[in-house]
């Protein structure tokens, strides 16, 4: 698979729309809805592991989580508008394309996160609201502004922001945190580097062009594949914690072992073959892996 085909899988070209529909589509795009889907999945599944939430509570928590993460996405679009304009994959985003002004995107992001805090605090609980806001601060302040352009460890440290949704989901149902919630946070945290570094292997030239020190640019593709392999083994170990602590049972254990074995196989395959195709396959599998793993948690908890 060539570079153009890989990029086509990761980002589809924008369709021609009427001005009003294009504006709506652009504001939705600012919230990064594709990224949101996986964040919301980990939120909802965690809620059903934590207890038996009402449908209304699930809906309110998801809306609040979407607003917070969407606000972070909009501010990220605002901050990265200079490098987005230079990268083929992102040049047609709302701000670099000129369809949305930077100031409007920033105001939109602030409005969304404010609405999230008010909604979660008033309709769910303030712990969930605070945790969700911490996720916003982590993604915008720690990852986007501080780390992304300074260190190849940006996604490792900044990845904690993307691991917050399970904490929010748990707090929404129980009103407090527990070790199980921390384990689920750790799973997403250790999943993030191999997932994102697989994508960065495909986008290496783009990141190099705009001087973003992603791991393949700074340390090379070989070291990136080695780090992916290391983090995959760490991820496998972390996924066993809920069972070892007695929080989840045999159904989860079996699923985590099968899914973890498949993840390790894909990482070893990438390490040995060192092809773009293997990197793309690992990236795509990592998306399915996280969804299936959290689905297995719900199945185990319900059985």
Q: CA–CA separation, 236 vs 277, rounded Å?
A: 23
Name the nearest CA neighbour of 61 among 41, 44, 39, 36: 44
Mean pLDDT is lowest, of 17-21, 40-44, 137-141, for 17-21
Average pLDDT, the chain: 94
- For residue 139, is pLDDT > 50? yes
- For residue 6, is pLDDT > 60? no
Determine the average pLDDT of the residues in 212-234: 97
- At residue 15, the pLDDT reads 55
- For residue 8, is pLDDT > 80? no
At the top level of CATH, the class of 3-11+19-302 is mainly alpha
Q: CA–CA separation, 86 vs 291, rounded Å?
A: 32
Is 96 or 89 the better-scoring residue by pLDDT?
96
- From residue 48, alpha-carbon distances to 38, 39, 45, 52 in Å are 16, 15, 5, 6
- At residue 16, the pLDDT reads 74
Digit-coded pLDDT (tens) for 80-95: 999 999 999 899 999 9
- For residue 13, is pLDDT > 80? no
> 92 — phi, psi (to 5°)?
-95, 10
Confidence of residue 212 (pLDDT cuts 50, 70, 90): very high
- At residue 102, the pLDDT reads 98
Digit-coded pLDDT (tens) for 36-67: 999 999 999 999 999 999 999 999 999 999 99
Instruction: Work out the angle at residue 238's Cα, subtended by the Cα atoms of residues 236 and 240, and round it to the nearest 5 degrees.
Output: 80
Digit-coded pLDDT (tens) for 257-287: 999 999 999 999 999 999 999 999 999 999 9
If you write DSSP's letter for every residue of 98-135 in order, what string do you get?
TSS-HHHHHHHHHHHHHHHHHHIIIII-HHHHHHHHHH
- At residue 194, the pLDDT reads 97
- For residue 210, is pLDDT > 60? yes
The residue with tokens 């993460």 is 69
């Amino acid at each position: 698979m060539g570079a153009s085909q890989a990029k086509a899988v990761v980002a589809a070209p924008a369709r021609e729309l009427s001005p009003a529909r294009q504006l709506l589509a652009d504001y939705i795009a600012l919230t990064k809805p594709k990224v949101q889907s996986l964040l919301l999945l980990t939120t909802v599944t965690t809620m059903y592991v934590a207890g038996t939430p009402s449908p209304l509570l699930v809906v309110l928590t998801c809306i609040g989580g979407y607003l917070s993460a969407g606000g972070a996405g909009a501010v990220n679009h605002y901050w990265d508008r200079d490098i987005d304009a230079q990268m083929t994959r992102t040049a047609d985003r709302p701000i670099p394309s000129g369809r949305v002004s930077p100031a409007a995107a920033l105001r939109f992001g602030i409005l969304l996160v404010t609405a999230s805090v008010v909604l979660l605090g008033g309709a769910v609980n303030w712990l969930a609201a605070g945790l969700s806001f911490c996720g916003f601060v982590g993604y915008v302040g720690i990852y986007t502004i501080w780390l992304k352009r300074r260190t190849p460890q940006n996604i490792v440290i900044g990845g904690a922001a993307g691991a917050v949704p399970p904490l929010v989901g748990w707090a929404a149902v129980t009103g407090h945190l527990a070790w199980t919630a921390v384990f689920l946070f750790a799973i997403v945290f250790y999943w993030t580097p191999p997932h994102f570094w697989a994508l960065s292997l495909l986008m290496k030239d783009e990141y190099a062009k705009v001087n973003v020190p992603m791991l393949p640019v700074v340390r090379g593709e070989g070291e990136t594949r080695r780090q992916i392999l290391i983090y995959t083994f760490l991820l496998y170990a972390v996924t066993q914690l809920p069972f070892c602590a007695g929080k989840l049972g045999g159904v989860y254990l079996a699923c985590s072992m099968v899914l973890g074995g498949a993840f390790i196989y894909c990482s070893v395959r990438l390490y040995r073959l060192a092809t773009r195709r293997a990197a793309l396959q690992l990236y795509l599998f990592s998306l399915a892996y996280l969804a299936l793993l959290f689905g297995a948690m719900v199945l185990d908890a319900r059985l």
